[in-house]
Amino acid sequence: MAREAREGESRVAMVPELVGKLTALGYEVAVEPDAGRHALITDEDYADAGAVIDAAALDGADVVVSVQPLGTDRIRLLRSGAATVSFLPTGQEPEVVAALRDAGVTSFAMELVPRISRAQSMDALSSQALVSGYRCAIVAAGMLRRFFPLNMTAAGTVPPAEVVVLGAGVAGLQAIATAKRLGAVVKAYDVRAAAAEEIRSMGAHAIDLELDTLEGAGGYAREMTEERAALQMERLTPYVAAADALITTAAVPGRKAPVLVTRAMVEQMRPGSVVVDLAAESGGNVEGAEPGEVVRIGNAQVWGGRNVPSQMPGPASKLYAQNIVNIVTLMTASTDDGGAFAPDFDDEIVAGSCVTHAGEIRHEPTRQAMEGAH
């Protein structure tokens, strides 16, 4: 397992509790020194679990697991035929994909694992979105200088905070659940047809804007037309203006995050209001939000998310490591002397998540974007 080299990345791809699962499959597990430091895991914890602490862990490794993709300098040091399993945003990082291809490395991208039921236990987008959604609600509660719950006391009644959540996918639903548990009155909106029922099942109010729903492939949202986007903004404005806290989590796969809330809409919020934009890093749902910063717009403090799962590195790493163990298990064939990493490219999950193999880019959209049509 690699030590994460990117600034701000506190997670790790393997946790001591799960090292035994890999050794049981027949692997020797080598961990780079200090790899777990930011997730509060010591080298001794890994060693006690049966891993070897080795500064040269990547040299000659069959499989390298990490959260972020390895840097191009480290990829060039891998042996040809080695495999990497990590997040790998192919659209944003073509130079990493090219290095993997040219080094003859077989690479798998966790964000490309198909969202079919057999792959649920390997779905790192979902496991990390769960962490982000929770964290968003906690950040909003922490920034808001008032109670989330209703308080009825001898000294009088304090009304509950009103929280509006836009986007009710995995992260949004977790934000709703968390804000509800803290006692806020929660209203939420999502463009997908199934979302209203899911919002209600969390005990929140599903906002009905009387607009068409936008269902795309694989249960995802589709992009809005400009006209629909304008109408959605207009109809959302009174909900945003009335919110004490606004949490936005909307995304459309493979696209920039849709702008759902303009600066003018935020300016209508009351003094002391807070806005938490989980999508700030991918373009932002809220106009003016900055990833990793709190900016002031009108009366509101606007918090922009930046690598939000990394802000809770312990649980985020544990969930991610379980996803990694499950996908590595799928790609391990049992042999006479234990197990061997032998991905079966006829398997939908293996084929779907593979980016490079044997000197070629296997993920067709990435190949076309980088090499053009054949």
So which residues are the catalytic ones? 115, 120, 123, 126, 220
Residue 125 contacts ligand NAD per CB under 6 A: yes
Site string (147-166) toward ligand NAD, x via CB under 6 A: -------------------x
Exactly one of 16, 36, 69, 167 binds ligand NAD (CB under 6 A); that residue is 167
CB under 8 Å to 135, separation ≥6 — which residues?
A: 308, 309, 311, 312
Q: Can residue 258 be called a binding residue for ligand NAD (CB under 6 A)?
A: yes
Nearer to ligand NAD, 56 or 193 (CB): 193
When binding is defined by CB under 6 A, the residue of 88, 130, 260, 266 that contacts ligand NAD is 260
- Each residue 170-189 as x (binds ligand NAD by CB under 6 A) or -, in order, gives xxx----------------x
Take residue 137 and report the two structure tokens written for it: 């609600």
User: What's the token pair of residue 4?
Assistant: 């994460």
- Residue 17, both tokens: 């509790």
Distance in Å, CB of 190 to ligand NAD, minimum: 4
Bridging pattern class, strands 83-86 and 52-53? unpaired
**192: contact with ligand NAD by CB under 6 A:** yes
By beta-carbon proximity to ligand NAD, the closer residue of 258 and 339 is 258
Choose, by CB under 6 A, the member of 129, 131, 246, 300 that binds ligand NAD: 129
The long-range contacts involving 54-63, CB below 8 angstroms and separated by at least 24 positions, are 54/30, 57/1, 57/2, 57/30, 57/31, 57/32, 58/2, 58/32, 61/30, 62/27, 62/341, 63/27, 63/328, 63/341
Q: How many of the chain's residues bind ligand NAD (CB under 6 A)?
A: 31
The tokens of 271 are what?
């003094």
The answer to whether residues 322 and 18 touch, using CB atoms and an 8 Å cutoff, is yes
Reference 299, options 249, 260, 263; nearest CA is 263
Smallest separation (angstroms) from ligand NAD to the CB of 255: 9
Using CB under 6 A, pick the residue from 4, 9, 32, 123 that binds ligand NAD.
123
Q: Could you tell me if 262 and 287 are in contact, meaning their C-beta atoms sit under 8 angstroms apart? A: yes
Closest CA to 251 of 133, 140, 169: 169
Q: How far apart are CA 214 and CA 324, in angstroms?
A: 32
State which of residues 90, 126, 132, 366 lies at the interface with ligand NAD (CB under 6 A). 126
Q: Is 235 in the site for ligand NAD (CB under 6 A)?
A: no
Q: Footprint of ligand NAD on this chain (CB under 6 A)?
A: 115, 117, 120, 123, 125-126, 129, 166-172, 189-192, 194-195, 219-221, 224, 249-253, 258, 260
